[in-house]
Structure 1
Amino acid sequence: MLFVTIQELEAAINYWRSQSPSEGDELRLCPEASALAKPYALMIVQGAQRVPVDVLDDMARSAIQQFQKIA
């Protein structure tokens, strides 16, 4: 089973935010950063340091995998 760490999620969120900055009056995140922000927030609340990749939804899994290819 593959895992993604909270540090990797944070780096991926920052990467996607730099690629597609927040927009609109509400400063809406791009779809990739938004998808990664949900598991990131849960990990913070739960005090988790890593999460299995297979529990991520399709968008979050795709965003982290694309980031990992680049990083």
Structure 2
Amino acid sequence: MIKVTNVKVVVAKEKLKEARTHQKSYADKHRRSLEFQTCDHVFLKVSPARGVRRFGIKGKLSPR
């Protein structure tokens, strides 16, 4: 019974490894290195550091 379980675990690990390699190869095709030249326009996403924390607090600051 232990041998059967060990064999099933090995098969499951192999299938997970195969799925991981498929997913990784798919993701690598869509990822490309970015190169910027001078005078290129770039959009930056910036969020304020202080304002975000203040609006996230609800209710009492120190509940008992």
State if a TM-score over 0.5 links the two structures.
Answer: no
More helix by share: 1
Normalised to the residue count of structure 1, the TM-score between the two structures is 0.25
Normalised to the residue count of structure 2, the TM-score between the two structures is 0.27
More strand by share: 1
Higher radius of gyration, 1 or 2 = 2
- Which of 1 and 2 has higher RCO (CA within 8 Å, sep 6+)? 1
